Amino acid sequence: TNLCELGDVFALQQEIATSVATALQARLRGNAAAGPGVPADPQAYEHALRGQFFLGRRARGDLARARRSYRDALALDPRYARAWSGLASAAYLQTIEGEVAHAAGLAELRDAAQRAIELDPRNAEGHVRMAAYHALVGEREIARRHLADGARVDPDNPLVLGIAAGFAADSGRPEEAVALQRRAV
């Protein structure tokens, strides 16, 4: 009877695995059509992850690689808000580091951040990058509003906290800046 019970256990495991796989497949299909947080194409997600890796690593040439990866993701799913905000981040960093022409970098930063927010108003990175754009063009009050929107939708986001710390420091509030940086860490 032990052999029979073991066979029943394997059959039950197979049945559970099949049910879970079927449910996940249905859920993923539903999510892909449902919103900006999940790309319609799994390869788009893979490209965005690659972009995120290069953006974080920041070795020589990585910002250009990140930008290409985000563009590859968007070629597969132009409604993928996370890829738009990633592209905005790459454009921002390349612009401030002088890797791209200032005017062209600013335009891409603005357009990508705006698209990210349009697709997903809860995309904190999109708001942060829109804040960066407005700060770079001298529109500090608009920048503050976008930063506040980013903090409202994701108050514990380290990028939001770090940028808010920079704004606080630039505004002569060093204690607040230190507290925000500590929170980010």
Q: How many CB atoms lie within 10 A of CB 64?
A: 14
pTM of this prediction? 0.78
Q: Return d(Cα 99, Cα 91) in angstroms, integer.
A: 9
pLDDT in tens, 48-100: 999 999 999 999 999 999 999 999 999 999 999 999 999 999 999 999 999 99
pLDDT in tens, 109-152: 999 999 999 999 999 999 999 999 999 999 999 999 999 999 99
> How is residue 152 written in tokens?
């409202």
Give whole-number Cα distances, 144 to 132, 149, 163, in Å. 9, 9, 10
Q: What is the pLDDT of residue 34?
A: 40
Residue 6 clears pLDDT 80, i.e. is over it: no
| Amino acid residing at 105 | G
Candidates 95, 144, 146, 89; CA nearest to 112 is 89
Q: What is the pLDDT of residue 48?
A: 96
What residues have CB less than 8 Å from 118, skipping those under 6 apart?
none
SS3 state at 102: helix
Q: What is the pLDDT of residue 31?
A: 41
pLDDT in tens, 17-45: 555 555 555 444 444 444 556 777 899 99
Contact 147, 128 (CB under 8 A): yes
Query: What phi and psi, each to the nearest 5 degrees, are found at residue 100?
Result: -130, 160
